[in-house]
């Protein structure tokens, strides 16, 4: 019997995993600069959290959740996204009581959605996301968007498009909702069954329907921007002013509604314009969700954040032919000749690694020539050759693989010799 990986998931093997580590480290470093701190929440939560948090009318809750009963019959769900869990933790752990607000958090971890797998769409994918809770300052909206743009740009992406919109405050949304209902209701019979349900639940979601996107009523639907009240308008203007001040180009798209129910005010997506990127061009999505903490039983707290998947980020890097500066070389490979040398290499290797050097040796009893080949495969900067004869004299032959220069040194000098070299290279 043989097993295959589940559809929509992937094994990330050595050779590929270094790219993930590089991206994750870059994201962590960036969060540190912006003072976002890491939060780790469980992979599964009570289903009700996502039903309420993400929203009953969303595709995620209706069709895409991995929901199961635990042994006590409780309904649990593998997290489809990170915002609901982060806000749940913020409320439950009373992070709002900390004197310093906003609470700025980030996460990197797997999310699960039962979607139709295709290029850029997985059933298990890794999101890097940030959430800033407790501030209603449009500067924080601009900060969140800037951090996302900065990650992509730091990694070398150029073909990016930032699209923003405002969904307004509760009053603006209510006015827009009424307008949408009157617009679609007379002809809702011509729309798909999902849209018919959406008319009552959340008519905004009709604008995001893939099946009915070419219906003539879609083009003439009332734009949210016409329903923004003065407060919402000036908030949105301020966000745009800050983005411009940061030199970040953007487009306003009143059709951008996002696929989750919790948004109000600022909503944004970052797309890849790279040729050959594939049908799904959205790299990152986010927005403001001022009612979410309250919705899940917490105090009224404004919040804004984004999430992006590492899968799509790496695909965008591929599409733009960006190679990440990943080095897989090692400091030293020990080649041995003779049994005593082989034994001595075991402890020598241990000492080298303890001293912080990347070092390796052969474990397959290979001939010398094959050991040198292994050293090449490991991209060893130095090869240290230890034979029984050398061992007797307490010396080891060290060869700089770049210059070809070889010299004999005392075995107990090997580590300081290699370290001195690394130090010189860093200068
Ligand atoms: P979302 O738009 O559902 O928003 O997902 C955000 C990002 O996750 C997408 O832009 C995409 O990069 C990635 N993504 C989503 N589904 C998949 C998939 N099946 N395969 C690969 N990548 C995927 C959220 O999740 C919100 N929680 C974002 C947010 C945070 N809003 C405020 N704070």
| Percentage above 70 pLDDT, the chain | 100
CB neighbours of residue 101 within 10 Å = 15
What is the DSSP code string of 52-69? Answer: HHT-TTSHIIIII-EEEE
The sign of the CA dihedral 133, 266, 197, 284 is negative
Which residues lie with the beta carbon below 6 Å from any ligand 1 atom?
81-83, 113, 115, 120-122, 125, 127, 129, 131, 259-260, 282-287, 289, 305-309, 311-312
| Rounded-to-integer distance, Cα 2 and Cα 14, Å | 22
Q: Which CATH superfamily is 17-169+229-319 part of?
A: Bira Bifunctional Protein; Domain 2 (3.30.930.10)
Residue with tokens 């040194």: 409
| Rounded-to-integer distance, Cα 56 and Cα 37, Å | 30
Tokens of 50: 């996502």
pLDDT tens digits, 101-111: 999 999 999 99
pLDDT tens digits, 276-289: 887 888 999 999 99
Evaluate if residue 426 carries a pLDDT over 80: no
Residue ranges of domains in the chain: 17-169+229-319, 330-421
What is the DSSP code string of 367-422? Answer: -HHHHHHHHHHTTEEEEEEEEHHHHHHTEEEEEETTT--EEEEEGGGHHHHHHHHH
Element spanning 306, H or E: strand 303-309
- At CA 228, angle to CA 223 and CA 231, rounded to 5? 165
CA atoms within 13 A on the CB side of 412: 2
Residue with tokens 């919402």: 232
- In terms of Cβ atoms closer than 10 Å to its own Cβ (0-12, 13-18, 19+), residue 146 is middle
Phi, psi of 172 (to 5 degrees): -60, -40
Distance 125 CA to ligand 1 centre (A): 9
| Rounded-to-integer distance, Cα 389 and Cα 394, Å | 9
* pLDDT of 427: 64
Distance 375 CA to ligand 1 centre (A): 42
User: Smallest Cα–Cα separation from 138: which of 263, 37, 253, 232?
Assistant: 232
Tokens of 105: 């958090």
Tokens of 341: 């040398």
Question: How much is the average pLDDT of 27-43?
Answer: 98
* pLDDT of 210: 84
- Assign a CATH topology to domain 330-421: Rossmann fold (3.40.50)
Query: Quick one: which atom of ligand 1 is closest to the CA of 122?
Result: 20
Distance 111 CA to ligand 1 centre (A): 9
Weakest mean pLDDT among 11-15, 180-184, 214-218, 418-422? 418-422
Q: Report the DSSP beta bridge partners of residue 361.
A: 334
| Rounded-to-integer distance, Cα 195 and Cα 205, Å | 8
For ligand 1, atom 31, the nearest C-alpha belongs to: 286
Output the known binding site.
81-83, 113, 127, 131, 258, 262-263
Distance 194 CA to ligand 1 centre (A): 21
Distance 108 CA to ligand 1 centre (A): 12
| Rounded-to-integer distance, Cα 168 and Cα 174, Å | 9
Pocket test of ligand 1: the residue of 81, 87, 268, 282 to mutate, having most ligand atoms within 8 Å of its CB, is 81
Evaluate if residue 406 carries a pLDDT over 90: yes
Rg over CA atoms, the chain: 28
pLDDT tens digits, 94-137: 999 998 999 999 999 999 999 999 999 999 999 999 999 999 99
Strands across the sheet containing 160-166 = 37-38, 103-112, 124-133, 303-309, 282-288, 264-272, 160-166, 251-252
* pLDDT of 101: 94
Residue with tokens 């983005």: 243
Residue with tokens 């019997």: 1
pLDDT tens digits, 375-396: 999 999 999 999 998 899 999 9
pLDDT tens digits, 184-214: 999 999 999 989 988 988 898 898 888 998 9
Tokens of 126: 């890794």
């Amino acid at each position: 019997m043989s097993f295959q990986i589940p559809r929509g998931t992937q094994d990330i093997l050595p050779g590929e995993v270094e790219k993930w580590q590089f991206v994750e480290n870059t994201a962590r470093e960036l969060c540190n600069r912006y003072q976002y701190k890491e939060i780790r929440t469980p992979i599964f939560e009570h289903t009700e959290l996502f039903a309420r948090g993400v929203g009953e009318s969303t595709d995620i809750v209706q069709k895409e959740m991995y929901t199961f009963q635990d042994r006590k019959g409780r309904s649990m769900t593998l997290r489809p996204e990170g915002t609901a869990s982060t806000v749940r933790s913020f409320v439950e752990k009373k992070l709002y009581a900390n004197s310093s607000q906003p609470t700025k958090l980030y996460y990197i971890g797997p999310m699960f959605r039962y979607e139709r797998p295709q290029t850029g769409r997985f059933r298990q994918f890794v999101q890097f996301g940030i959430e800033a809770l407790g501030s209603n300052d449009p500067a924080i909206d601009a900060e969140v968007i800037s951090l996302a743009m900065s990650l992509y740009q730091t990694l070398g992406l150029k073909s990016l498009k930032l699209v923003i919109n405002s969904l307004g405050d509760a009053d603006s949304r209510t006015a827009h909702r009424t307008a949408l209902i009157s617009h679609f209701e007379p002809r809702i019979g011509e729309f798909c069954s999902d849209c018919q349900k959406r008319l009552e639940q959340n008519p905004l979601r009709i604008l995001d329907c893939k099946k009915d996107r070419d219906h003539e009523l879609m083009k003439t639907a009332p734009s949210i921007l016409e329903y923004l009240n003065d407060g919402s308008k000036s908030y949105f203007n301020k966000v745009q002013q800050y983005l411009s001040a940061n030199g970040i180009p953007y487009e306003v798209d009143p059709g951008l509604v996002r696929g989750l129910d919790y948004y109000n005010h600022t909503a944004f997506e970052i797309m890849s314009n790279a040729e050959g990127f594939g049908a799904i061009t959205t790299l990152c999505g986010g927005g403001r969700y001022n009612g979410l903490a309250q919705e899940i039983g917490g105090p009224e707290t404004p919040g804004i954040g984004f999430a992006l998947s590492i899968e799509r980020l790496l695909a965008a890097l591929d599409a733009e032919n960006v190679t990440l500066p990943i080095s897989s070389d090692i400091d030293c490979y020990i080649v041995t000749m003779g049994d005593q040398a082989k034994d001595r290499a075991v402890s020598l290797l241990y000492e080298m690694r303890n001293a912080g050097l990347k070092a390796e040796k052969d474990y397959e009893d290979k001939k010398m020539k094959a050991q040198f080949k292994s050293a090449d495969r490991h991209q060893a900067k130095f090869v240290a050759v230890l034979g029984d004869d050398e061992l007797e004299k307490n010396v080891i032959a060290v060869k700089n693989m770049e210059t070809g220069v070889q010299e004999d040194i005392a075995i107990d000098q090997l580590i300081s010799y290699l370290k001195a070299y690394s130090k010189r290279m860093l200068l």
